[in-house]
Copies of this chain bind each other. A is one copy, B any other.
C-alpha cells in the first residue's frame, strides 16, 4: 500500500471528505492533514492548482477531488471494476462536482446583498442538478453505480450533507428532500451503512 497524505480543510464536508471516509472505512492508513482556514492563504500557492484536497501518494501530489476519489476508490474497492458501471460512478461524481462549483463560486462573497442575490440565482440550477442526478439514481437502483456503495455515493452523501447543513445561507436546508426524493433516501442509506456509522462514531469520539 502506498504512503498516503490527504490534505483538506478541517471540517466534515466539502470536496475532501469523501476520500477521508473511503480510506477510513476501508481501514487504509493515511496522514489526515487538516488545514485551518487562516492557514490556507500561505498553503494555496504551494498546491499544484491552488486548491485542496490534495493526496500525496508516495511523494507524488494529486489534485482535483474526483481524481482523488477515483484513485482512493480503486485502493479501497469502492470504485467499480466494470467499465460501464465505472462510467456511471464517474458521471455522478462529475455532475455533483459541477453543482459544487456553482456553490463554491459564491463562497467568497462578503457583501450580504450580493451573497443573497448570488445564492438565490443558484436555486434554479441546483434544483435542476438535484433532479437530474435523482432521475439517474432512480433508474439505477439503491446506489449510483454497481448496485453497492461506491465513492460516488460517498460524494453525494457529503454534498447533500453540506446542502442541508444550514451553513449555506439562502439555500433552503430541505432543498434535496423537496426536489430529489431518491437522493434524499440515498443520503439516509449511506449514513446508516455500518461502515459509515463506525466512521462517524470514531470521528465524534476523537472530537470529544
Most B CB within 10 A of own CB, among A49, A66, A101: A49
Contact B91 A63 (CB under 8 A): yes
Q: Is the interface of A mostly helix, strand, loop or mixed?
A: helix
Q: How far is the CB of A107 from chain B (nearest CB, A)?
A: 16
Is A30 part of the binding interface, using a Cβ–Cβ cutoff of 8 Å? no
Contact B132 A49 (CB under 8 A): yes
Contact B74 A90 (CB under 8 A): no
Q: Kindly list chain B residues whose C-beta atoms are within 8 Å of the C-beta of A28.
A: none
- Which of B50, B70, B98, B129 makes the CB contact (< 8 A) with A128? B50
Is A199 part of the binding interface, using a Cβ–Cβ cutoff of 8 Å? no
**Also in contact, A84 and B60, with CB within 8 A (given A49-B95, A70-B90, A90-B70):** yes
Q: Name A's B-contacting residues (CB within 8 A).
A: 48-50, 57, 60, 62-64, 66-68, 70-71, 74-75, 83-84, 86-88, 90-91, 94-95, 98, 101, 128-129, 132, 135-136
